Amino acid sequence: MLLDKLINYLKLDKQEFLFQFSSHPNYPSALAFSDTLNFMGVRNDAYELDKEYWDELPEEFIAIVDNTFSLVKKTGNNYSIYSDKAKTLNKDELHKKSTDFVLLFEKENADTKTVTSYKPFIYVTLAIIAIYSLLNHAWYQLVFNILSMIGVYISLEIFNQKFGNTSAVIGSICGDTADRQTVNSCNKIINQDKTSILGLKFSDFSLIYFIGITILGLFLPATSFIIKGFTFASVIAIGYSLYIQGFVEKTFCRVCLVIISILVAQLVIAVFFFDNIYFDLKTSLLSLILWITSFSLVLYLNNTLNEKDSLQKSNTKNLRFKRNYDLFKRELTEKEKITFSDNETFSVGNKDARLKISIISNPYCGFCKDAHKIMENLLEKYPDEISVQMRFNYSPDKQNEKFTHLISDFTYVYKNKPEKDFLQTVEYWFETRDEEKIRQKTGATSSHEDLTPLVNMSAENRDAGLNFTPIILLNGYQFPDKYDREDIYYFIDELIEDEEM
């Protein structure tokens, strides 16, 4: 299921989206898709809507077209469809190829992330090599090196594609990715290649070869003899590739043919233009070291990425189990429910919400900062669906004067200023840990606030055995120890909708 154009349009981190989507317990259902969008910050609502009402939908929505989640945009009397490819359908074609599922979303809330890419580094490196060749080599040597760099780039794209990274370059060479027959032609030769030498496929040796040839090309004409020898040796690879395509798989891979064309062009250049050649032992030894280094580098990357891919697949399967709401709920409700008499002090959010979250914390607890940040994120995303009570453990007979002043300042802001200011004050405290800055920010007077509710609330915490911090309670049930606190993001929607909770 390819969703490149849809993911790019929503400005989502592709790897993160696919990982969260595939690890959802209900993958690959519409529920999993909707939940993943919600998790990534794209608020959405899913419906089963008869086609006769589709004219009332917004100009942009998501539907299942040709069994693939697709972005649908109205353009006049037609519809532009974005998923694994872009296409235009009229109203009748869209209705015929779609299910009744529609998903309405708010794109502006999408969680955009900056993804580090190796490509700028590759582009800069190849550009430097090209400029160096232009300034120091004859025209045929320049052409030879440019062909080598094209070979490096294409081979690197093939190498990356083995690990689930789609390539626009490979896609454009192989044809539209929606054309399953064309895709299979490339996959049979590249992804399903049974050649294996220390775990490397035949296509991996293309990357090794072109890396070596590119570096050797920088030292032309001194390396002419070595390069010419390898171009002759490439005839074996050309013959083997054509044999596999024509007689074994009986289908031709376009990207393989492009690489073969590069090898043939380099062979022609080497035969007709590399005349002044001589054998040099030092150059040969250095070339051997270069090939061993290139081989070792590609082998290391291949093994590392294979291991990472294997771990990610295993983690995905484990997460489907871990993110099962029924299992989480069973763990959550396994312990006895805790009931507090004071649910008002330091309570924020919608006090009438069905899901009430309590966080037992201490302002001087180092781990409490992250727990409070989780609560702030949830309040920001679900301001009307949840309420949060901050239950600080405070005992005046055991605390120093600074703690008392800090709690007093919190109380002052909570009583006299908007809820947003109170949340910002707590957040500011965990960022600065400076009592004087809090006093200046809040504008509180030197006199103490009435802290009796805090004292009573702390006593309730102790009576319930809630002495360690931070602790999160969901409607009185303690968050399970078997789960990380951040896992609450996976279950929050179901917790809100669960009437039994």
Q: Is the per-residue pLDDT at 177 higher than 50?
A: no
pLDDT of the residue at 144:
92
pTM of this structure: 0.54
Predicted confidence (pLDDT) per residue in 231-279, tens digit: 998 899 889 888 887 887 777 888 888 899 999 999 999 888 887 666 6
Q: How far is the CA of 31 from the CAs of 14, 48, 69, 113, 488, in angstroms? A: 19, 12, 12, 24, 18
Question: What digits encode the pLDDT tens for the residues 399-455?
Answer: 678 888 888 889 999 998 999 999 999 999 999 888 888 888 887 765 577 888 888
pLDDT of residue 276: 60
Report, as an integer, the average pLDDT of 16-35: 77
- Specify whether the CB–CB gap between 379 and 411 falls below 8 A: no
- Write out pLDDT tens, residues 349-374: 998 899 999 999 988 888 889 999 99
Local confidence band at 2 (pLDDT 50, 70, 90 cut-offs): low
Query: H or E stretch including 228?
Result: helix 224-243
Are the CB atoms for 338 and 473 separated by under 8 Å?
A: yes
Q: What is the pLDDT of residue 114?
A: 41
pLDDT digits (tens, 9 = 90+) for 107-122: 544 444 444 456 677 7
Give 8 or 97, the one with higher predicted confidence.
97
Please say if the pLDDT value at position 136 is more than 50: yes
Domain positions in the chain: 4-109, 119-314, 336-497
Q: What is the Cα–Cα distance from 391 to 344, expressed in whole angstroms? A: 10
Q: Is the pLDDT of residue 483 over 50?
A: yes
pLDDT average, residue stretch 160-168 = 70
* Cis, peptide link before residue 120, omega less than 30° from 0: no
CATH topology of domain 336-497: Glutaredoxin (3.40.30)
Q: Please check whether residue 449 is in contact with residue 411, taking contact to mean a CB–CB distance below 8 angstroms.
A: yes
Q: What is the DSSP string of 268-323?
A: HHHHHH--S----HHHHHHHHHHHHHHHHHHHHHHHHHHHHHHHHHHHHHHHHHHT
Instruction: List Cβ neighbours of 38 (8 Å cut-off, separation of 6 or more).
Output: 44, 493
Fold of 4-109: Cathepsin B; Chain A (3.90.70)
Q: Which helix (H) or strand (E) holds 389?
A: strand 386-392
Q: Find out whether 160 and 67 touch, Cβ atoms under 8 Å.
A: no
pLDDT at 478: 93
Strand-pair partners of 166? none
pLDDT at 480 over 50: yes
Token couple for 190 = 């590249």
**Is it the case that residue 82 has pLDDT exceeding 90?**
no
Which CATH number does 119-314 carry?
1.20.1440.130
3-class secondary structure per residue, 364-380: CCCCHHHHHHHHHHHHH
